[in-house]
Structure 1
Amino acid sequence: MSKTYKLSVNKSTSFEFTEQDLEKLDAVSIQENHFHILNKHKAFQAELITTDFNSRKYTVKVNGNTYQVDIATPLDSLIKEMGISLGAGKVVNAIKAPMPGLILEVAVQVGQEVQENDTLLILEAMKMENTLFSPRAGVIKSVSIEKGNAVEKGQLLIEFE
């Protein structure tokens, strides 16, 4: 069974997409964060303006119109349905690959001090570049990957002290 993702656009319109729906899209990167997309014989020019991978919030410009897109995974939807809120005190000590892909850039090194939302790395997956940001302030303990590495979902990428 395919996972269903819920997208909220400008907090007013909602859509649901399955993994099969995404596979049907014909998206080509024409330059960094710019894409040409064909869907149901219609062409779209898309630009990824801002990304917050941890909270799954994106600002996207499509054919000149700007949209705020929030993505909810099946787990996010289940948590919301159960009325559970994620604890603010949770400390993230490891960054793992959210999906299989290719490491395009590693922006940190061992011993480096980072602040919340600093760029850690860029992961290319499904023809899209995904910037992974630091979920908290801290010091980098280890970097298990380097530019050009292929990674699997759940693979350890970066650890914090």
Structure 2
Amino acid sequence: MTYKTIVNGDLTFDINQEALNQFDAIKISDSQFHVLNHNETFNAKITKSNFNKKTYTVTVNNNTYDVAIMSDLDILIKDMGFEVGAAKRVNDVKAPMPGLILEISVKEGQEVKEDDPILILEAMKMENVITAPRDAVIKHIAVKNGNAVDKNQLLIELE
């Protein structure tokens, strides 16, 4: 497997498994490492990390670097336009399955945060809490309590 690393937004390095196997690092603490590379020693510290976005801020010998790491799969997903962030542009909340609207927890014009519950959909005798896909304002509620809905039917529009 090959990893593409982007340092400070403009320097790109490809790192393969062989290079990783030759990497000599000793963990000093949860965020600090002593690194030996080509007979040179480096003190490295991870000062910030976002595991989901695979971004890190690393200080090496008192120099700070912003590093993004992408695998072959991450690159393919990005090239196909299926990045995690792309899903956050969703403006319509649709029914994931056929069911019955039991409760609507929001009103038009209300602000919601990502993952806030917006309604409860009963399907196959189970209550499914449908949450906001992103921070937004409720633009339009297309259903009412007690409505039966089909899969992919519009439930709520977001601004």
TM-score with structure 1 setting the length: 0.51
Q: Which runs of 5+ in 2 are unaligned?
A: 91-113, 117-159
- Please identify the structure whose Cα radius of gyration is greater: 2
Provide, for residues 73-105 of structure 1, a one-character-per-residue CA deviation record: whole Å limited to 9, x for no partner.
11111122334444236xxxxxxxxxxxxxxxx
- What secondary structure sits across from 2:69 in the alignment? strand
- What secondary structure sits across from 1:32 in the alignment? coil
Aligned twin of 2:70 = 72
Aligned twin of 2:29 = 31
Q: Give the one of 44, 47, 64 matched to 1:46.
A: 44
Q: Which runs of 5+ in 1 are unaligned?
A: 90-135, 139-161
Amino acid at match of 2:30: E
- What secondary structure sits across from 1:49 in the alignment? strand
Aligned twin of 1:14 = 12
Paired residues for 1:52-63 under 5 Å? 52-63=50-61
Identity rate of aligned residues, in percent? Answer: 39
Q: Note the aligned Cα RMSD (angstroms).
A: 1.9
CA distance in 2 between partners of 1:28 and 1:137 (Å): 39
Shift of 1:23: 1.3
Amino acid at match of 2:39: H
CA distance in 2 between partners of 1:49 and 1:7 (Å): 17
